[in-house]
Amino acid sequence: MSGEVVMARGLTRVYQEEAVPVHALRGVDFSLSSSEFVSLSGPSGSGKSTLLNIVGGLDRQDEGIIELDGEELAPLSEGDLAALRLRKIGFVFQAYNLVPVLSALENVEFILQLQGVGSAERKERAGEALKSLGLSELQDRRPGEMSGGQQQRVAIARAIVTNPVLLLADEPSANLDSETTKELMELLRNLNETQGMTIITATHDPMVMGYAKRQVHLRDGTVERDEVVTD
Amino acid sequence: MSEIALGQKEQNFANRTKADSSSILLRLVQISWRNVWRNRRRTLLTAGGIIFAVWLLVFMRSFQGGVFAQMADISARAMPGHAQIQHPLYEEEPQVEHTVRESLAESRLLQTGRFDFVSSRVQGSAILSVGDKSTGGFVLGLEPKVEAQWSGLARNIKTGAYLAADGEAVIGEALARNLGAKLGDDLVILGTAKNGGIAAHAATIVGIFRSGSTELDRTLVQIPVGDFREAWSMEAEEAHMVVGVSTALLDSEEGIQIARNDPGEGVDLNHLAWQDLLPDVVQLTEMKDVSTNFMFYFICIIVVFSVVNAFMMLIYERTNEMGVLLALGMRPHQLLIQFQVEAFLISSLGLVLGFGLTAITVWPLMEYGMTLPQELLESYPPDMVAMFPERLHPTFNWEAMRTATVTILLGVQVAALIPSLRIFGMRPIEAIRAEN
Amino acid sequence: MSANLAFQLSFRNILRHRRRNAMLFAAVAVAVLGSSLSMGLVRGWQYDMLDGVVGNLTGHIKVHAPGYLDDPGIQRGFELASDYQPDVPSEDLMGWAPRISVPAVILSERETRGIQLVGINPSAESISFLDKVVIDGENLSGPGDGRMIIGKELARQLKTRVGLRLVIMTQGSDGLTRERGFRIAGTYDAEGTGLEKAYVFSGLQTIQSLLDTENVTEVSIRLNEEPKKLSIQALLVDFFIGLEVMNWEELNPQAAGLYLFTDSIIYIFFFFIMGALIFGLVNTLIASVMERTKEFGMLRALGMNRRTIVLEVVIESVLIMTFGMIFGLVLAYFSFLGLEDGLNLGVWAEGLESFGMRAVLYPIMRVDDFVTIALMSLFMGVLASYWPAKRATRITPLEAMRG
Ligand SMILES: Nc1ncnc2c1ncn2[C@@H]1O[C@H](COP(=O)(O)OP(=O)(O)OP(=O)(O)O)[C@@H](O)[C@H]1O
Ligand SMILES: [Mg+2]
């Protein structure tokens, strides 16, 4: 195995829902090795989210092949896909979407619980994940009692606590001010550099793009540019 | 990674999931509990309908149950008694020769240890005359000393007094009117004796009663049993029925068992409980229960629709949250469990508060009783109202409580299930993006 | 202007959440259906009871000689001109019947029963229960018929049957006892056994000659419309000078009380059923207000006044009620059509009888009842919106921006 986390060949995705079919992806080739930090960019409607969703096992391509961690996704059932997401992928969404009735610690623990991790190990790992993001103080607060940036950090803790092979973040900064965005991106870069976490973000935000080490630029459902950033 | 290694990994994963499934269940319960608490207002409003339905059913049934039990008791005490033993044919063919032996029948009732008053009766129809006026009527020979102690009729003497000695008679108010009779008048009774001859008896009217029953008031004459036997040429031990009355209000099931209990001494006798003697009271009770149930089930349907509606709102509001959880790998059935637990918590709350409210409203009435408002009295048949006691005491109806519990629990779970099924068709991406 | 805007907003908001509002419509419809059904059944019972009381030889109005009620004998009879016609406008009069009704004794070989002997003109009895009973054997042929018809239950008790002769004893106008054999022309089967045990009928002229009199003891008058009883009673009082002219309510005050009480039962049913509904309605309205915190806050910031906001919530509630109600009333209408053949309560026949009810209940649909339900439902809608509307007015632009 080459350490390829994502391997996509000729991905197409057509939305038939409207009267006119929408070609969200028109043959995307894309691969990603372990420990890469990629930023998907491109104008609105260019297919960033669609690609991210297919990579994350949330959506299915119409044509082409997608492999995650060496495993082809197309034959998997919905249940298998869910299990795969639970084990291998960490998600960070635009609106941080924590379970409002659970505390920060419980939110992070919950995902481990879904994985079937025992209670003692769960507590320890969740506590550690929060600590690594500087959230130990806040672990007993509920989402309603935290700022947006704090909530987004808890969401990241929730995403990484399972040691996923891939972390996906679609517009992670959309609801954050630039100061908070900066803190958040530092955090992601830190994760990438110290723990070798493989990360893909999709964004319009130049500041977010700036942190990635590779830029994949989409336009009209195709890869327009794919370049490694050298600072 | 080889196929085998992957397989093993899956296996481990499966084992761990199984081992920890109770912990995830507890977490789901916790989340449900907190959601129920977080949306207190909605929880209470949803539970409100349940509280109302439960209260309505249990309170009404307790109230009616108590009133009807009392009414049945009063009706039993008015005339027929709590139990009777008759000749097996007498009920169908009330002929003068269909008699039971007094001592045998009395000992059977006394044997049960439940009847405080036991006495014999003989009865038959006759022509009644006062002066030159005559009419047909019904003569009941009884033991005045015993019946005076319990008979409601003995207490409803409008003018004069109840029977005390041989040669006396008490008659109904309408009968007295038809005969133009006053206290002290001589009443001549002519019937057909056991031997086929004429049964003739003259008695002094010492009392006029108003029983509340138009039929009794129009036709009934009571005389001492001895006078009747003599006039109808019957023997001393012969009775058409032996009547048992208990000072305690008989629980309906128990009463029916005691009364119908046949010790089987080889003599075939007809044992009748008050339920047999007062079929109209029993039916009226059933009918009231049915109409209360009818209303309860209607209200349950309304509650079910309200719960469906409440869960639609709840699921709608949590679409984003659910989308994220599904994206993270939570399974739809786990979310379903969460909603089912929420439904259970809401219905339990409604049931507990409903029973609390019922207890608070029923218990004082059970303790102190209540007087019925005049308008309500008028909705009951006049015959029965005449026999109503001054204070009515409801009895807590456990059966209604069981019905309410089962119906509400099932109804609410199903109601919550209907909108929850949407989860299975939910696409995480769309759910996350849904705006609300 | 603002009402129009509020209406538009409410209407769109209901449409926006049509699935969950459909549930609410269903709940309202079930509540309205339940109320209408119970109202129709109770009305049916009420009419039935009235019919029973009025048809039970009473009529809407009855004329007696003074003292007859206390001493019901032929001595308390009165003379009725042979060409008598009640002085009542013919469109109001269903019919009238002169009768003699006296207590009597009926004797079979071994049994004796006290009964009420009633002399009738059979063709005039279309106004009483006799018109509806099933008769085994023959009915009386006219006022001169010398046979009798007796109740089925009485026949059973006396162990007799059609065609046999029984002796009836009663008191003549001179106070002396008369006896006469009557052949049974037929037995009648009334609802329950009360009437069957009490009344024995024969021809009016036969009874008059038995009692040696030209008099009758009562004239029973039945009207087409019950509410006219008072004015017509007044007319009759002027005609029957010296006699007692009473309406059914005076003759049977208990039944009259029950009749009135029935009206309140209808409202009790309504409020019980609607009580359960109101929780669901308030629940939805509040949610709908809370969901629109932003919208309301924004509208307030744009200068919409509180009244319009209150109006919007009230209109939403009333609209939901109206939709559900229309649906419920349509359902109720079809249920009534389905119940046209009556609801059979035969299982509880004996118990019902003591309540003056028949075994088959015919629900009665009255337009004014439907209107009452509709108006009360709308009122409930306004009532239910009180709290949510109050909550909506408390939303400030500030709160909305934070939320
Ligand atoms: N569920 C859907 N149904 C129909 N069309 C869709 C759907 N999702 C996406 N599309 C269309 O597919 C195209 C790609 O959408 P996608 O969300 O991937 O774009 P994006 O690059 O993420 O845009 P943005 O920067 O605005 O998030 C767009 O034209 C969009 O309208
Ligand atoms: Mg996007």
Q: Which of A22, A30, A200, A222 to mutate to test the pocket of ligand 1 (most atoms within 8 A of CB)?
A: A22
Q: Which of C234, C250, C266 corresponds to the end of one domain?
A: C250
Q: What is the number of the ligand closest to the CA of A23?
A: 1
Chain B residue closest in CA terms to A53: B429
Q: Where are the beta strands (DSSP E) in B249-393?
A: 270-273
User: Looking at beta carbons, which residues of chain C come within 8 Å of B382?
Assistant: 254
Residue A211 near residue A190, CB atoms below 8 Å: no
* Position A65, amino acid: I
User: Looking at beta carbons, which residues of chain C come within 8 Å of B215?
Assistant: 194, 197-198
Q: Which residues contact B335 (CB under 8 A, 6 or more apart)?
A: B322, B325, B326, B420, B423
Chain B residue closest in CA terms to C103: B135
Distance from CA of A59 to the nearest CA of B (A): 8
The complex's ipTM works out to 0.89
Residue C161 has a CB neighbour count (10 Å cut-off) of 12
- Quick one: tokens of B310? 């409440």
| Pair (C160, C229) in one structural domain | yes
| CATH code of domain A34-60+75-228 | 3.40.50.300
Q: What is the pLDDT along chain B (436 residues), one digit of tens a residue?
A: 344 444 444 445 544 554 456 788 888 899 999 999 998 988 999 999 999 989 988 988 888 887 777 777 877 888 888 888 888 888 777 788 888 888 888 888 888 777 889 999 999 888 899 988 888 788 999 999 999 988 888 888 889 999 999 999 999 998 998 888 999 999 999 988 888 888 999 999 999 998 777 778 888 999 999 999 999 999 988 999 999 888 765 555 555 555 555 555 555 777 888 777 777 777 777 777 777 888 888 888 888 988 898 898 888 888 888 999 999 999 999 999 999 999 999 999 999 999 999 999 988 888 887 776 665 565 555 555 655 666 777 888 888 899 999 999 999 999 999 999 989 988 888 888 876 5
| Pair (C76, C201) in one structural domain | yes
User: Looking at beta carbons, which residues of chain B come within 8 Å of A91?
Assistant: 324, 327-328
What's the gap in Å between A217 CA and the centre of ligand 2?
A: 13
User: Looking at beta carbons, which residues of chain A come within 8 Å of B331?
Assistant: 79, 82
B253 and chain A in contact, CB less than 8 A: no
Cα(C274)–Cα(C324) distance, integer angstroms: 12
Rounded to a whole number of angstroms, the distance between the first and last alpha carbons of chain C is: 29
Q: What is the number of the ligand closest to the CA of B434?
A: 1
**Residue among B45, B290, B295 whose CB faces C282 most closely:** B45
**Residue among B6, B18, B38 whose CB faces A101 most closely:** B38
- Using 50, 70 and 90 to split pLDDT, how confident is the model at C118? very high
Please give the DSSP secondary-structure letter assigned to residue B423: G
Helices (H), B151-194: 152-155, 173-179
Q: What is the pLDDT of residue C352?
A: 59
Average per-residue pLDDT in chain C?
85
Cα(B85)–Cα(B258) distance, integer angstroms: 12
| Pair (C86, C197) in one structural domain | yes
Q: Which of C193, C226, C250 corresponds to the end of one domain?
A: C250
Contact check, Cβ <8 Å, C177/B178:
no
Beta bridge partners of C360: C344
Q: Which pairs count as long-range contacts for C133-136, CB under 8 Å and 24+ apart, including other chains?
A: C133/C188, C133/C189, C133/C190, C134/C188, C134/C189, C135/C186, C135/C187, C135/C188, C135/C189, C136/C162, C136/C186, C136/C187, C136/C188, C136/C189
Q: Based on the structure, what is the number of domains in chain C?
A: 2
Cα(B32)–Cα(A173) distance, integer angstroms: 30
| Pair (C138, C197) in one structural domain | yes
| Pair (C386, C244) in one structural domain | no
Cα(C277)–Cα(C27) distance, integer angstroms: 7
Q: Which residues contact A48 (CB under 8 A, 6 or more apart)?
A: A40, A41, A42, A170, A202, A203, A218
Q: What is the pLDDT of residue C159?
A: 86
A91 and chain B in contact, CB less than 8 A: yes
Q: What is the pLDDT of residue C368?
A: 86
Cα(B102)–Cα(B86) distance, integer angstroms: 10
**Residue among C170, C260, C273 whose CB faces B298 most closely:** C273
The continuous run of DSSP H or E covering C23 comes out as: helix C18-53
Domain range list for chain A: 34-60+75-228
Tell which of B20, B21, B31 to mutate to test the A interface (max A CBs under 10 Å).
B20
- Domain containing residue C173: 59-250
Whether pLDDT at C346 is above 70: no
Tell me the whole-structure pTM to 2 decimals: 0.79
**Residue among B16, B31, B327 whose CB faces A116 most closely:** B16
Whether pLDDT at C291 is above 80: yes
Contact check, Cβ <8 Å, C112/B191:
yes
Contact check, Cβ <8 Å, B302/C291:
no
- The pairing of beta strand A37-41 with beta strand A214-219: parallel
What's the gap in Å between A169 CA and the centre of ligand 2?
A: 10
Residue B436 near residue B317, CB atoms below 8 Å: yes
Least confident range of A161-175, B207-221, C324-338: B207-221
Residue C298 near residue C9, CB atoms below 8 Å: no
3-state secondary structure of C131: helix
Contact check, Cβ <8 Å, A95/B429:
no
Tell which of C112, C193, C321, C335 to mutate to test the B interface (max B CBs under 10 Å).
C112
Q: What is the number of the ligand closest to the CA of A47?
A: 1
| Pair (C236, C136) in one structural domain | yes
Chain C residue closest in CA terms to B178: C71
Average pLDDT over residues C138-145: 92
User: Looking at beta carbons, which residues of chain B come within 8 Å of C115?
Assistant: 136
Cα(A69)–Cα(A164) distance, integer angstroms: 11
- Quick one: tokens of C28? 């309202």
- Using 50, 70 and 90 to split pLDDT, how confident is the model at C157? confident
Residue A100 near residue A142, CB atoms below 8 Å: yes
Residue A10 has a CB neighbour count (10 Å cut-off) of 14
Q: What is the pLDDT of residue A52?
A: 93
Cα(A100)–Cα(C56) distance, integer angstroms: 71
What count of CB pairs under 8 Å joins A to B?
81
Q: What is the pLDDT of residue B416?
A: 94
User: Looking at beta carbons, which residues of chain B come within 8 Å of A99?
Assistant: 31, 321, 325
Cα(B125)–Cα(B137) distance, integer angstroms: 6
Chain B residue closest in CA terms to A160: B328
Q: What is the pLDDT of residues C85-97, one digit of tens each?
A: 777 788 888 888 9
Least confident range of A21-35, A140-154, C294-308: C294-308
Q: What is the pLDDT of residue B265?
A: 54
Q: What is the pLDDT of residue B3?
A: 43
Contact check, Cβ <8 Å, B20/A116:
yes
Atom of ligand 1 nearest to the CA of A25: 14
Q: What is the pLDDT of residue C400?
A: 67
Q: What is the C-alpha R_g of chain B?
A: 34
| Pair (C85, C117) in one structural domain | yes
**Burial of A214: CB neighbours in 10 Å, binned 0-12, 13-18, 19+:** middle
User: Looking at beta carbons, which residues of chain B come within 8 Å of C23?
Assistant: 305-306, 308-309, 312
Q: Which of A25, A30, A50 to mutate to test the pocket of ligand 1 (most atoms within 8 A of CB)?
A: A50
Beta bridge partners of B126: B137
Atom of ligand 1 nearest to the CA of A171: 27
Q: What is the pLDDT of residue C82?
A: 72
| Pair (C390, C367) in one structural domain | yes
Q: What is the pLDDT of residues A20-63, one digit of tens each?
A: 889 999 999 999 999 999 999 999 999 999 999 999 999 999 99
Q: What is the pLDDT of residue B19?
A: 47
Q: Which of C187, C215, C250 corresponds to the end of one domain?
A: C250
| Pair (C244, C301) in one structural domain | no
User: Looking at beta carbons, which residues of chain B come within 8 Å of A95?
Assistant: 320, 432
| Pair (C150, C264) in one structural domain | no
Residue C245 near residue C61, CB atoms below 8 Å: yes
Q: What is the pLDDT of residue A125?
A: 93
Contact check, Cβ <8 Å, C73/B133:
yes
Measured from CB, residues less than 6 Å from any atom of ligand 1 are: A 15, 17, 22, 24, 42, 44-50, 204
Average pLDDT over residues C202-210: 94
| Pair (C102, C239) in one structural domain | yes
Least confident range of C111-125, C130-144, C222-236, C388-402: C388-402
Q: What is the pLDDT of residue B7?
A: 45
Q: What is the pLDDT of residues A89-143, one digit of tens each?
A: 999 988 767 898 999 999 999 999 888 888 899 999 999 999 988 889 999 999 9
Higher pLDDT, C361 or B389: C361
Higher pLDDT, A173 or A53: A53
Distance from CA of B25 to the nearest CA of A (A): 10
What is the percentage of chain C residues whose pLDDT exceeds 90?
27
Tell which of A34, A60, A93, A123 to mutate to test the B interface (max B CBs under 10 Å).
A93
